[in-house]
Amino acid sequence: MKLFEIAALLGCSGVEDSIEITGMNTLREASAGEISFLSDSKYEKELENTQASAVILPSSKAHLLPKGVIALPSDEPYMSVALLSKHFSKPIRSSEVPPVIGEGSVVYPSAHIENGASIGSNCTIMSGVYVGADAVIGDDVILYPNVCIYRDCRIGNRVMIHAGSVIGSDGFGYAHTKMGEHVKLYQNGNVVIEDDVEIGANTTVDCAVFGSTIIKQGSKIDNLVQIGHNCIIGEHSILVSQTGLAGSTTLGRNVVMGGQSATAGHLSIAPFTTMAARSGVTKSITNKGVYSGFPLMEHKMWLKMQAKLAKMLES
C-alpha cells in the first residue's frame, strides 16, 4: 500500500510520497517500509531511533522524528492505527501450497490442516483440531481434541496442548470513538511457543498486535488461563488455573502465578517471583520474592495483616 494512499485513508493532507508500506509495527521494532505510531507520550524517546518509514502521531510531536521519517499527523493516532490495521490484516486462508506432514505423524480424520501449514515428525493431531495457514508445528507435538492453532503461529518441539485450547486468537484491542463506539484494532502478529511447553485445557493465548506473544521453553500452563496479546512468559514459569495476564505483561524465568491471580498490562515481573492465589499485580515487580493480596504486598506482611484482622474480629 502506497504511503499517499494511507494518508488519504486517514485524512492526512499534504503527504504525496509513493513509498510502499508493507506492514505496521511498534516504534522500536519497525524497519524500513513499515509504518508505526505514537499514541502515548511515555514512548516519545523511541521516536529518535525508530527505523519506520512513516509514523502516525500528533502534529506537535512531528519535530521529534529522525531525518527521513515521514510524519502522518493525527488528532487521534490510536484510532488511525485501528482504521489502518484492517488493511494490513492477513486473509484467513491465503496459501495454495498443500500442508506438509512429517514422518511418523498421525492426523485424525476430523482434524483440519490449512494449506501452507507444516507439521513435524512423530506428532499426534487428534479429532477436531484446526491448524491455520502457514502455522508451523515442531516434532513430537501432541494436540488434543478441538485445539485451535491460528495462522502463522509457531509451536516448538515436544509441546503438549490439551483439549479446547486456542492459540493465536485476536487480542482484545479497540479504539473508542467520542460517541463510545468501539473500532477493532486488528491483531496482525502471532504466537510463538518454544520447546517443552505444556498447556492445559480451555486455555487461550492471544496473538500479538504486532510481533509475537511468546511462551518460552519449559513453561507449564494450567487449564482456563488467559494470556493477552504481546505477553512474554519466561522459561520454566508456571501459571495455575484461572490466571489472567493483560496485554504486554512480561514474566521473567521461573515465575509462579497461583490460581486466579492476575496482572495489569505493560508490567514486568522479576525472575523467580511467586504470586499467591488471587494476587492482583498492578505495578512491575523488580525484586524477586513471594507476594500476596490486592493491593499486592510481600506474603509475610499479608499473613501478619490477616492475623491482626482476625484478632480485631474476635474482640
Amino acid at 263: T
Catalytic residue (one of 63, 112, 162, 229):
229
Q: How many CB atoms lie within 10 A of CB 247?
A: 21
Q: Are 246 and 228 in contact (CB under 8 A)?
A: yes
Q: If residue 90 lies in a helix (H) or strand (E), which one and from where to where?
A: none
CA distance linking residue 5 with residue 9, whole number of Å: 6
- Assign residue 88 a region (left: φ > 0; alpha: ψ between -120 and 50; beta: otherwise): alpha
Distance CA 82, CA 79 (A): 5
Question: Does the active-site annotation cover 182?
Answer: no
Going through 25-157 in order, the beta strands assigned E by DSSP cover 34-37, 54-57, 70-73, 100-101, 106-107, 112-113, 118-119, 124-125, 130-131, 136-137, 142-143, 148-149, 154-155
Length of the chain: 315
Residue with cell 492465589: 277
> What separation, in Å, do the N-terminal and C-terminal C-alpha atoms of the chain show?
72
Beta strands 226-227 and 244-245 are: parallel
Residue 104: DSSP 8-state: T
Comparing C-alpha atoms, which of 282, 215, 218 is closest to residue 246?
A: 282
Q: Which residues are catalytic?
A: 229
